[in-house]
Amino acid sequence: MRYRSRRFPSYLILFGMVAIMSLPILLLVSYSLKTSREYLAHPFTPYPLNPQFFNYLGILQYSPFLVTMGRTFVLSITTATITCFTSAMVGYGFARFRVPGNRGLFQLVIALLIVPSIILQIPQFVVYAKLDLVNTYWPWYLVAMGANPLYIFMYRQFYLGFPKELEESAEMDGCTSFRTFLGIIIPNSKPVMATVLIFAFAAVWGDYIMPTLFLNDPTKLLGSWMVPGGPPQGDPFFYAATVLYILPVIIFFFFIQKQIQKGWIFTGISG
């Protein structure tokens, strides 16, 4: 009891933080179940008086929501997989290969972390437009092939604590560095790979800027547009679309949250 009493203030603070962070999600769900009249009513009511579950059915019935959502899922999982692999290769190179300029290049990678990605998107648009890649998904794939500074840092920190004995044994058996990377390093990198995968997936899944810049073909629009040209019945439909849109990321997170926790621990133990 004495131990629990000492921990009570900590639990109280954590409960308050969880309540504050959960409030927007609860309001989002509440708005998605309201009628258009309730949505515009004054004074504001935090909960629907007459829950309209038809809003969820309506967004599926009157708009190509499932099509755009499926298109976004394929693009997100593909680019996340590419980013996960290319960042692992670069991070492994920084952790294991001591070549001239290694330290300076890694410092440059760290410096790129402070550069806001949005300021790079206009120059990227100009380049992709000249290459005639607008209205295609190649901008996402090319960005993924270039790896990501944050993920490179995470992989590098993880591989610094990886035992070298396994690699030395593989080298004695005649394995090349790339074969060792594929056969030994990658299968033992599940914690950090799970962390990178969910981050990279969520970055594409929730991105609105890149689809706005690079896509204007209705047959290629992504789900982050929140179903343009959808049902005209009122804003609650779009809140319902938002709830449906964030569900896959939440479900994905719950399945691999233990791996994510391990990834954060292992990427922070080496300097």
| Spatial contact of 154 and 90, defined as CB atoms under 8 Å apart | no
Q: Work out the pLDDT band at 227, boundaries 50, 70, 90.
A: very low
Range 6-30 average pLDDT:
86
266 vs 107: which has the higher pLDDT: 107
pTM over 0.85: no
Residue written as token pair 């996402």: 140
Q: In this structure, is the dihedral angle defined by the CA atoms of residues 161, 166, 170 and 172, taken in order, positive or negative?
A: positive
Scanning 97-229, the segments in alpha helix (DSSP H) are 102-111, 118-130, 138-145, 149-160, 164-172, 177-180, 190-205, 209-214
The token pair that represents 5 in the structure block: 């009493």
Report yes or no: 206 and 222 within 8 Å, Cβ to Cβ: no
pLDDT digits (tens, 9 = 90+) for 187-208: 888 888 888 988 899 899 888 8
Residue 126 near residue 65 (C-beta atoms within 8 A): no
Average pLDDT over all residues of the chain: 82
User: Cβ(109)–Cβ(149) under 8 Å?
Assistant: yes
**Predicted confidence (pLDDT) at residue 90 exceeds the cutoff of 80:** yes
Q: Which tokens sit at 212?
A: 């706005």
CB atoms within 10 A of CB 121: 18
Confidence band, pLDDT 50/70/90 cuts, at residue 120: confident
Spatial CB neighbours of 91, under 8 Å, sequence gap ≥ 6: 151, 152, 153, 154, 155, 156, 158, 159
Superfamily of domain 70-266: MetI-like (1.10.3720.10)
* Percent of the chain whose pLDDT exceeds 70: 89
The pLDDT value recorded for residue 194 is 85
29-33, 40-44, 65-69, 228-232: range with lowest mean pLDDT: 228-232
d(CA 56, CA 182): 44
Contact 45, 230 (CB under 8 A): no
- Taking phi over 0 as left and psi of -120 to 50 as alpha, with beta for the rest, 136 belongs to beta
Percent of the chain with pLDDT over 90: 18
Cα–Cα dist 236/55, whole Å = 7
76 token code pair: 């997100």
Residue 75 has pLDDT above 90, yes or no: yes
Strands (E), the chain: none
22-64 residue pLDDT tens: 888 888 888 888 887 777 777 777 788 888 888 888 888 877 8
pLDDT digits (tens, 9 = 90+) for 248-257: 888 877 777 7
